[in-house]
Amino acid sequence: MAKLLVCDPVDSNAVAALQQTGVEVVVQDSITLDELAEVIGEYDGMVVRSRTKVREPLLDKATNMKVIIRGGVGLDNIDVEYARGKGIKVLNTPSASSNAVAELAVGLMFALARHISKADASMKAGNWDKKKLKGTELAGKTLGVIGYGRIGRCVAEKARALGMHVVAYDPYIEHEDIIPFEELLKIADYVTLHLPHTEDTHHLLSTGQFAIMKQGAYLVDAARGGIIDEAALYQSLSDGHLAGAALDVYSQEPPQDELLRKLVALPQVVATPHIGAATQESQGRIGGEIVKLVQEHLA
């Protein structure tokens, strides 16, 4: 019987379903990397989310591994090519969390436009700052979507329903919405990121790109940390060139170093703790896709 290790939290209904697939399922959803290195050789498959990092030294110990399933979209926490070079299948659940992430991105735009976080904090402090909290509307604004895959197009659909004009940039996709990268930065009132963090996208937005963006523009990142040069973003916000940013992901999670803590603390920043896929519905869909992948590739 094949053995499957679930390394990160997965929907409880999915765990119950996995146990009916004919696979021996072991759930250790808070396992450390040191602990994982000691036992990984016993398993034929593993399920991870974003917490567990599956790097080359760990893969060298995965002597029986046949499949790694990433519950979610991004694969940047797995050394994919190295794993595949060892004959290990690396699979993900790309469609399960798309709507959840897209809804968060739109919600973050509303939070920026209408100062929702500030208004809430003010009310909880016993204040009535109505005159200080005049916002703007999303309708009529231009949204620039960088990364036009499933999530990017889902955001675009919702933005159009709000009356926004949508343009996009993606070097791997042909679509009528696609325009050159610098042109997008110049005309967008809001820029939202929906692409993986790779060598090519590392610090895709830095000092030069922020300078090109419209004075008073807003930036939303619910994709991956590392795509934004956070030091450059802090400077652009502090200088008043960008009006605000909403961040769900960071180069270090949770943010610990001084720069990130200063960035998150800026009043122009709305910050959330990587909750893009954290909905009941999304977790259920992710769990269902994990079960299907186990049935197809391991059971």
- HSE-CB at 297 with a 13 A cutoff on CA atoms is 22
Peptide bond into 57 cis (omega under 30): no
Q: Which residues, 6 or more positions from 41, have their beta carbon under 8 angstroms from its beta carbon?
A: 61, 62, 63, 64
Q: At what angle do helices 98-114 and 150-161 cross, to 10 degrees?
A: 50
Measured distance CA(256)–CA(254) in Å, rounded: 6
For residue 263, CA distances in Å to 189, 191, 198, 247 come to 21, 18, 23, 10
The pair of structure tokens assigned to 179 is: 């325009």
Give the other-Cβ count within 10 Å of 36's Cβ.
Answer: 21
Measured distance CA(61)–CA(131) in Å, rounded: 61
Q: How far, rounded to the nearest angstrom, does the alpha carbon of residue 195 sit from its chain's CA centroid?
A: 8
The DSSP output letter for 178 is B
Nearest-5° Cα angle at 114, 155 to 217 = 65
Q: Three-state SS for 38?
A: helix
Q: Please identify every residue annotated as catalytic.
A: 224, 253, 274
Give the other-Cβ count within 10 Å of 264's Cβ.
Answer: 18
The pair of structure tokens assigned to 284 is: 């259920």
Quote helix, strand, coil % in the chain, to nearest 5: 40, 15, 45
What number of H helices and E strands is found in the chain?
12, 11
